[in-house]
Structure 1
Amino acid sequence: MKRTEAQRSALMMRMARILSGLFLLAFVTSHLLNLSLGVISIEAMDNARPVLTGIWSNPVVGPILLLALIVHFILGLWSIYRRPTLQTNLQDSVQIVTGLLVIPLMATHVVGAASLGINGVNFNYAVATKFFWLDQPQIGLLQVILLSIVWIHGCAGLFTWLRSREDMRSILGWLYPVAVAVPVMALMGYAEAGRGVLIDAQEARTSAPSYSENAPQTATRTPPIIPYKVVKEVTNQIIWWSLGLAALTLAAREVRVRLHPFEHVQLKRGDCAPIATTSKLTVFDSFRIGNQPHAGLCEGRGRCGTCAVRILASEFPLPQPTALEIKTLSRIGADEDTRLACQLTPSGGSVEVEPLYPADYSFKDKDITETAQPGTQPELQT
C-alpha cells in the first residue's frame, strides 16, 4: 500500500523524535559517567573529560546537540497537542512532565557553557567543582536536578521504545540496574569531589598566614571573567519562552479537543461491561479510562502490536489505518479484521472487539508459547 505524504511525514517525525532523544540521552550519560569518576579524584574527572564530555563542545557536535534539543522539544510538544487524552499511567505522565522541563532546566547549562567558550574560559572540573560548591552552590544544585530529570525522561522513553521491540527485550534485564546505578554513581562522584573542595577551602582558611603591610605579596592569578549577568538574562528568556510554549501547547490541545466534533461510542469486549466513550478517544485510551486492563507494551505508541484487537462488529465504518498501524500489523502477521487499539478511533455507534493478547502479556509469554508450540499465536483473552 502506497503511503500518503501525511503518513510519510508522520513516520519521519517519529524517527526524528527517537533519534534526537537517543542523542540527548548519550549526552547526559557521558556527563553522568564523567561525574562518577569524582569518587576517585577531580584529576580523574578532568583526565576523562576530553573523551566523555569534551566531544560535545566541539564545533561540529555542539550545533548538532543544540538542534537535537530543539527538535526533540518541539516534537514532544506536538505529540502532546495531538494526544486525545492526558489521562495515562504513571510512567507516561512522568515522561510528559519531565519532557516539558528539559529545555528550561538545560538552559543554564547550555548558555553557561556557550558563554564560557565565547569568552575563552577554561572551565575544567577542578574549576567547576569549586564554582558549584563554593561560589554558586544554587547553580550546582540546579545542575544535579537537571541531570536527574533529563535522565528520568530519557530512560522512560528508552525503556518504552525497547520494550516494544522483540529483538531488544533480552537486554532490558541488564539496562534496568544500569539506569539506577549510573545516576547514583554520578551523585556519589559529585558529592565526593565537593567534599574534597570544602575540606581544602577550610584548611586554606585556617592555615592562611597573616601578612604585614610591608611584607612582599605573592602574585595572584586573575580569576576568569564570567558574564553572569548576560548568562542570567539569556537563561531567563529561554526558560520563560519554553515554559510559555508548553503552556500554549496545553491550552491549544484543550481548545482542539473541546471544539472537535464527536460521536458517542459504546465499546464492548467479551464478557466485560460495555464502556461509554466518544469518537475522540482511541480504543486503547477508552479501555484505560474505563479501568479495563489491556495489553500495550509500548504504551499506545503503535510500535509493539500487543494492543491488537479483532473487530467483531462495528455499527459505523472504521477509519483507515495509518502508515504506522499498517507497518506494525504487517510485522505481527495480523488478519484483515485486526486493528491496533492504540491507533483505532471509532467513528461512533457500537463497536465490539476481541483482544489478541492477554492484558498482562509480555514478550516472555511469546517465548514460552513458541517453545511449547512453535508458530502459534498467544492465547486470546476473552
Structure 2
Amino acid sequence: MVENKASAPGKGSLLQQTRLVCGLTLFTFVFFHFLNHALGNISLSAMNWGQDIRYVVSGKRLFPWIFYTAMILHSGLGLWKLAQRRTLKMPVWEATQIILALLIPYVLIKHIFVTRGAGELYGSNISYQHELTALWPNDALWQSALLIVVWSHGCIGLHYWLRIKRWYRRVQTPLLGVAITLPLLALTGWISAARRLELSGNQKLNVTAEQKSNLLEIVSQVQLGVYALIALVLLTLVTKYALGMFQQRISVTYLDQKTVKSVPGPTLLEISRMKGVPHMSICGGRARCSTCRTLILSGEASLSGPSKTEAQVLKRIGASANVRLACQIRPMTDIVVRPLMGHGKKMQAPGLSDRYRWGVEQPVVVMFIDLRGFTSLSEGKLPFDIVFILNRYVDGVVKTVNRNNGMVDKIMGDGVMALFAVESDMSSGARDALACIQAVSKELEKVNEDLAAHLAAPLRIAIGLHGGTAILGRIGLDGQSGVASGLTALGDVVNVASRLEGVAKEENVLAAVSMDLITAAGITPAQNLTERSVAIRGRSGPISVICLDETAIVLADFKPAS
C-alpha cells in the first residue's frame, strides 16, 4: 500500500506550540471580524446581522474570554522569546513581524476598552452604531492602521509557519488573493458604514461623557503598563549585551570559512547572525525545520544534550550523533562546526522561498520510459540521424507527460524519468500516470509514422511505474551562477520504478505497474490482467506487479475499487 501521508515537519517546543495555537485562535477571530466589517459595504444592518451570527456561533460570553486568554498568552510568550534573544540581527521578515507586534497594543487597547470595556464596566450595548460613533472620524486613521498592522502581523506569521508544509505551495496564490482582498473590504466596509451613519445623523455613543473619560483614563494606564513591560524587555536585551562586553570570549570556527569570537550563551544560529556568517534557517530558529543542521567537528562534549524538540527533528532526518540544530545549541567553550545547508554561500531570497532546495518528503509517482534495443537500431546510422530520431521521440514523450500533469525529472539518452503527484494528491497523480501510459503509446505511433523513412523497424518502449514516499529536491546547482538544477526524486520508490521498467522489457510488455500504484489510484485491475510477484534488488521481499501490453492500457480496463 502506498503511504499517502508525508511525515510532518517538526512541531517546535511546547511553548512554541502554545504560542502558535493562541496565534491561530487570534487570527481566526480577526478573520471573521474582518468579514463582519466587510458587510459595511452593504449596510449597517448587515454589519449588526453579521455580529449577531458571530455571537451565536462563538458564544457571546465564552469566546471573548478565550480571545483575551489567547491574546495574553501569545503576547506574553512573544515578549519572553524576545527577552531570550542575544542579538537583534535577524531576517527582515522576522524583524518586521516583531515591530508590527510592538505597534499593536497602542491602538488595540483603546479599541478594546471603548467597546468591550464599555459593555463590561457600564453594561452598554456594544452595537456597531456605538463602535462606529466612537471611531469616526477622530480615530479613523488609527483604527485603519490597526487593521493593517494586525492583519500583516498575522499573515507574516502564517506564511512562515506554512511554507515548510508540502501542500502550501498549491494554495499559496489563492490565499494571497484573500490576504489582499479581505483587509481592503474590511477597511472600505467600516469606513463606508461610519460615513453613512454620520450623514444620517444617527451617531450614538452608548456611554456618558464621564464614562468615556473614565475609560480613556484606564486606556492610558494600561498602555503605560504594556509599554513599560516592553521597555523592560528591551532593557534586558541591552543589559545582556553590556554584560557580554566583560565576559570571556569563546572561539567558533566555521570550517573552510572563518573563526569568530563570541560570548557564551547565544545559540549557534544567533552567533552566525551576529558575525555575518551565512547560516540557513527556514523556520526562523523554531526547530520546526532542519535547515540549520550543523556538523559539530570539535567541542561536542561541552554541549547540552538535545531537547525533546530537537531530538524529534534529528531523528526524523536520520542525523548522526555529531549533527545538531544551530538554533538549539548554545556553545559554552571553543567549537568547530560546519553548517550542512547553504555552507559557504550567502543564500539569496529566491533560494529561501524554494522549499525543494532543502528537500521535501512526500508521496510521489515515478515513471521510467526507455526505448528497447535502440543501440542495435542506431547501428550504421549517421550521428545526425541518431540525434534527429532521439529528439523526435523525446520531444513527443516530454509533451505527453506534461499534458498528463506530469513533470520530467531527467532525460538520459533514450530514457526519460517523469514524476506525477508533485502538485496534486497521490490518487490523482496515480491516475494521471496510468492515463499517461496510454497517451505515450499513442504518441509513439505518431513518432513511428513520422520516422518511418528513417527506421528499419518501429520504435518500442518499456515503462516502469511505481508510487510511494520519496524525497524531492534540487540537487547540485543552486542558481547563484544563473543556472539552477531541476527537481529530482530520491529514495526507494525511484529504485523500484527503474527495476519495473526492466521487468517490462523482460516480459516483453509495454508497462510494468506496481499494485501499490494501482491501489493508490483507487482502482482494481480487470480479471484478464494477471498479478505477479517481482524481486527487487535491495528489497527483502518481492513486489506485486501488473503487466500491461498495448491491448490492455486503456483506463476502462480498470474498475473503480468498491
**Could you tell me the TM-score, scaled by structure 1's length?**
0.80
> Offset of 1:168 from its aligned partner?
4.4
* SS class of match (2:123): coil
Check the 8 A contact 1:35/1:187 in 2, yes or no. Answer: yes
2:340 counterpart (355, 362, 366): 355
Partner residue of 2:73?
Answer: 71
Q: Deviations over 1:42-98 (max 9, x none)?
A: 222222122346766722112221111111121111101111211112211122222
The answer on whether the counterparts of 1:357 and 1:380 sit within 8 Å (CA) in structure 2 is: no
Separation in 1, partners of 2:174, 2:259:
41
Residue 37 of structure 2, aligned match among 30, 35, 38: 35
Give me the whole-angstrom Cα distance separating, in 1, the residues matched to 2:333 and 2:142: 49
Query: Which residue is equivalent to 1:225?
Result: 207
For residues 473 and 204 of structure 2, the distance between their equivalents in structure 1, rounded to whole angstroms, comes to 72
Aligned to 1:144: 144
- Cα pair distance change 1:259/1:330, threshold 3 Å: same
1:240 to 224, 231, 238: 224
Distance, in Å, in 2 between the alignment partners of 1:166 and 1:173 is 14
Residues 332 and 105 from structure 1, CA distance in 2 versus in 1: closer, same or farther, beyond 3 angstroms?
A: farther
Structure 1 unaligned regions, length at least 5 = 1-9, 205-220
2:53 to 43, 51, 54: 51
- CA offsets 1:215-252 (integer angstroms, 9 cap, x no match): xxxxxx99733410111011111100000011011112
Code of the aligned partner of 1:101: L
The worse-fitting range, judged by mean Cα deviation, of 20-29 and 360-369 is 360-369
Distance 1:56 1:243 in 2: 31
Residues in 1 aligned to 2:225 and 2:311: alpha-carbon distance in whole angstroms:
38
Q: Deviations over 1:273-293 (max 9, x none)?
A: 444444333232233333343
Aligned partner (choices 318, 324, 342) of residue 333 of structure 1:
318
Supply the AA of the counterpart residue of 2:19. Answer: R
Any idea what SS the aligned residue of 1:233 has? helix
Structure 1 residues 118-174: Cα deviation after superposition (integer angstroms, max 9, x where no partner): 3333332244334432xxx23333222222222222222222222244454544343
Unaligned runs of 5+ in 2: 1-11, 367-408, 410-416, 418-469, 479-562
CA contact (8 A) 1:308 1:357 kept: no
Distance 1:289 1:252 in 2: 18
DSSP 3-state at the match of 1:305: coil
Q: For the structure 1 residues 131 and 347, does the alpha-carbon distance in structure 2 shift closer, same or farther, using more than 3 Å as the test?
A: closer
Q: What letter corresponds to residue 78 of structure 1 in structure 2?
A: W
Q: Structure 2 CA distance, aligned partners of 1:325 and 1:126?
A: 51
Cα distance change, pair 337–114 in 1 and its aligned pair in 2 (3 A) = same
* AA matched with 1:132: L
The residue type equivalent to 2:233 in the other structure is T
In our comparison, the structure showing a higher alpha carbon Rg is: 2
The reply on whether 1:294 has 2:272 as its aligned counterpart is no
Residue 127 of structure 2: aligned partner:
124
How far has the Cα of 1:175 moved from its partner? 2.6
Distance 1:277 1:223, change over 3 A: closer
Report how far residue 381 of structure 1 moved.
Answer: 9.5
Report the counterpart of residue 525 of structure 2 in structure 1. none
Cα distance, 1:279–1:381 mapped onto 2, change above 3 Å: farther
Report the secondary structure of 2:279's partner residue: coil
Hey, what's the Cα distance between the residues in 2 that align with 1:46 and 1:27?
16
Contact 2:87 2:274 in 1 (8 A): no
Q: When you count helix as a share of all residues, which structure comes out higher?
A: 1
**CA distance 1:288–1:259, shift in 2 (3 Å):** closer
Distance 2:204 2:78 in 1: 44
| Counterpart contact for 1:267–1:352, Cα < 8 Å | yes
Distance in 1, Cα, partners of 2:105 & 2:472:
47
Q: What amino acid does structure 1 have at the position aligned with 2:331? A: P
Counterpart code for 2:180: V
Letter in 1 for 2:217: E
Contact 2:38–2:190 (CA under 8 A) maintained in structure 1 = yes
Contact 1:319 1:347 in 2 (8 A): no
Q: 1:252 to 1:349 in 2, by over 3 A?
A: same
Report the CA distance shift for 1:381/1:341 in structure 2 as closer, same or farther (over 3 A): farther
Contact 1:314 1:351 (8 Å CA) reproduced: yes
* Structure 2 match to 1:305: 290
Q: Are residues 368 and 328 of structure 1, via their aligned partners in 2, closer, same or farther at CA, if it must alter by over 3 Å?
A: closer
TM-score by length of 2: 0.56
From the superposition, tell whether residues 171 and 263 of structure 1 become closer, same or farther in structure 2 (CA, over 3 Å): farther
Q: Does 1:267 align with 2:253?
A: yes
Report the alpha carbon displacement of residue 378 of structure 1 after superposing the two structures with TM.
6.2
How far off its partner does 1:184 sit?
Answer: 1.7
Q: CA separation of 1:250/1:127 partners in 2, compared to 1, >3 Å: closer, same or farther?
A: closer
> Which whole-Å CA distance do the structure 1 matches of 2:43 and 2:108 have between them?
26
Note closer, same or farther for the CA distance 1:185–1:376 as it changes in structure 2 (3 Å cut). Answer: closer
1:190 shift after superposition: 2.4
Instruction: Tell me, in whole angstroms, the C-alpha distance in 2 between the residues paired with 1:381 and 1:354.
Output: 18
Give the Cα separation in 1 of the matches to 2:183 and 2:205: 32
Amino acid in structure 2 at the alignment position of 1:177: G
Are the equivalent residues in 2 in contact too, given 1:268–1:351 (CA < 8 A)? yes
Note closer, same or farther for the CA distance 1:277–1:378 as it changes in structure 2 (3 Å cut): farther
For 1:108-187, what aligned pairs fall within 5 Å after superposition? Answer: 108-118=110-120, 119-133=122-136, 137-166=137-166, 168-187=168-187
C-alpha offsets along residues 25-55 of structure 1, whole Å, 9 cap, x if unaligned?
A: 1122222111122222222222212234676
Structure with the bigger percentage of strand: 2
- Higher mean C-alpha displacement, 63-72 vs 344-353: 344-353
Cα distance in structure 2, aligned partners of 1:47 and 1:256: 52
| Structure 1 residue 377: Cα displacement | 7.1
Q: Which has the higher contact order (CA 8 A, sep 6+)?
A: 1
* SS in structure 2 of the partner of residue 351 of structure 1: strand
